Amino acid sequence: MTAGRPSVSIIVPFLGSDAEAAAMRRRLQTLAMRAEDELIVSDNRAHPIHTPAYARNRAAERATGDWLVFLDADTAPGPQLLDAYFDPPPSPETAVLAGAIDDAVSPGAGRAARHAVARGHMSHRTTLDRAGTPYAQTANCAVLRSAFVTAGGFTERARAGEDADLCFRLMAAGWGLEERPHARVEHLSRPTAGSRMIQIALHGSGAAWLERRWPGEFPPPRPAALAGRLAGPALEAARASWRRDWEAAAFAALDIACAVAFELGRLIPNTRRRRIAGARTGKPKLAG
């Protein structure tokens, strides 16, 4: 397809160092874009609320494309990502296109990153095949701009879960979601166990916030169910240690740590306050 695909505004929130910004831009340069497309990097270092949702909303306000393609700063998109999103053309009733996400090991990353890849930590299948309502992750998805505006965009103080919340609101308004398995990105996994546990705890915080907004979508497990989830990896860790398979033992231990981090994350507030004192302000930056 593709001769007549709609115009696209690619939106990438960013919060990091100058070196990380340069690496992000190198990854984005692989994208095949048309004259009517635009790429907006929303630099959250200049924003009063440090959430990806806030940065994405500010960028969406200046976007001109018919569709908004949301990517994370730590993703590596395939060159034909944009064309793949619109092959085949979405239904007129569709407002969300869910792209594919492949976990990848970033340069210099260790065992925790390999574990994330082995478990498909950020895989699109995690949110599309879940027991509750499926949703697209903002690591790689496209949203019809007119529907995004009507819905009011992301809940911008939310630190996590804002992508599910937006999808749920759009579907409640009658819009549909379609998968786009050929619109793929690689998601670079967190390089250390500590950074990964922080990320997973944040996801747990988002799950608790979503459960309050959408009861029944992300209920906490009952104690017996949680104990069962932990018992399997604990047994595997013991067996792997007996076999001297240290990688498998470590992966099983990380399975336990991830489950605990997620559930403890439910206790962490998911909304971020606006910075007042010393806050820098500025507009999102347009990447060429």
Model confidence over 105-151: pLDDT tens digits?
Answer: 877 778 888 888 888 889 999 999 999 999 999 999 999 999 999 99
116 lies in some domain? yes
227 belongs to a structural domain: no
Domain-embedded: residue 146: yes
Give the integer Cα–Cα distance in Å for 37 and 59. 14
Residue 259 counted as domain residue? no
210 inside domain: no
**In the predicted structure, residue 285 carries a pLDDT above the cut 70:** no
Residue 107 is part of which domain span? 8-190
User: Alpha helix (H) ranges present in the chain?
Assistant: 18-28, 52-62, 81-85, 111-119, 124-128, 145-151, 162-172, 193-213, 223-243, 246-265
Q: Tell me the pLDDT tens digit for each residue of 18-61.
A: 999 999 999 999 999 999 999 999 988 877 888 999 999 999 99
| Residue pair 118/41 in contact by the 8 Å Cβ criterion | no
- Whether the predicted pLDDT of 92 surpasses 50: yes
Tell me if 288 is assigned to some domain.
no
Q: How many domains does the chain have?
A: 1
Condensed to tens digits (0 to 9), the pLDDT of residues 244-262 reads: 999 999 999 999 999 999 9
Q: Which residue has the higher pLDDT, 192 or 51?
A: 51
The confidence score (pLDDT) of residue 280 equals 41
Find the mean pLDDT for residues 266-286: 62
Q: Angle at the Cα of 41 (from 160 to 86), degrees rounded to 5?
A: 80
| CATH at 30 | 3.90.550.10
Q: Is residue 101 predicted with pLDDT exceeding 50?
A: yes
The tokens 């609101």 sit on which residue?
169
Q: Does a structural domain hold residue 89?
A: yes
Task: Report the sign of the C-alpha dihedral through residues 37, 13, 71, 76, in that order.
Answer: positive
Token duo for residue 136: 């697209």
Cα-based distances in Å from 11 to 189, 252, 280? 20, 36, 21
Residue 192 has what pLDDT?
Answer: 85
pTM, to two decimals: 0.90
Specify if 84 maps to a domain: yes
